[in-house]
Amino acid sequence: MPAQRRLRAKRPPENVEPFDELPEEEPPEEEPPRRDRAQEPPEPAGRRLNAATAGGAGLRHITELTAREAEGVTLVKPQGDGWLVDVEVVEDRRIPSSGDILALYEAELDAGGDLVSYRRLKRYRRGSGDLGEATR
């Protein structure tokens, strides 16, 4: 049978000074909080967007409204004073993934990136071999 070790309570060292006599430390400098680009509000209405920022704004609006995972942006097109953005979204995950149900959503944005309207254009099974574009 192995010998059991006895644990003794350790005594604090005798040469330690009390806490009230320790030198005061300077507080560390605070870093400004980091901003997550995905959490930023859309661009102000007075500023015009380019295609990349319009696509990102459309993607953000669609994922927030549908609460679904986006596959990606499939179209960014200027239209009048705003933008038309198409986003492909996974509506229903299946196993195997070739059975996933996808949907194509269209978001209409104003010049500042605010959502004017959105709609689902179509639903389809991943890998269904869709050769044509959505009709508008």
- Provide the b/e sequence for 102-114 (b: ≥16 CB within 10 Å): bbbbbbbbbbbbe
Residue 16 lies in a domain: no
Closest CA to 64 of 82, 39, 47, 101: 39
Largest CA distance in the chain: 87
Residue 78 lies in a domain: yes
pLDDT tens track of the chain, all 136 residues? Answer: 556 666 555 565 566 555 555 555 665 566 555 544 445 554 454 567 899 999 999 999 999 999 999 999 999 999 999 999 999 999 999 999 999 999 999 999 999 999 999 999 999 999 886 656 555 5
Residue 100 lies in a domain: yes
Give the range of the structural domain holding residue 113, as residue numbers without chain letter: 36-125
Answer whether 0.75 is exceeded by the pTM: no
Residue 49 lies in a domain: yes
Number of domains in the chain: 1
Residue 80 lies in a domain: yes
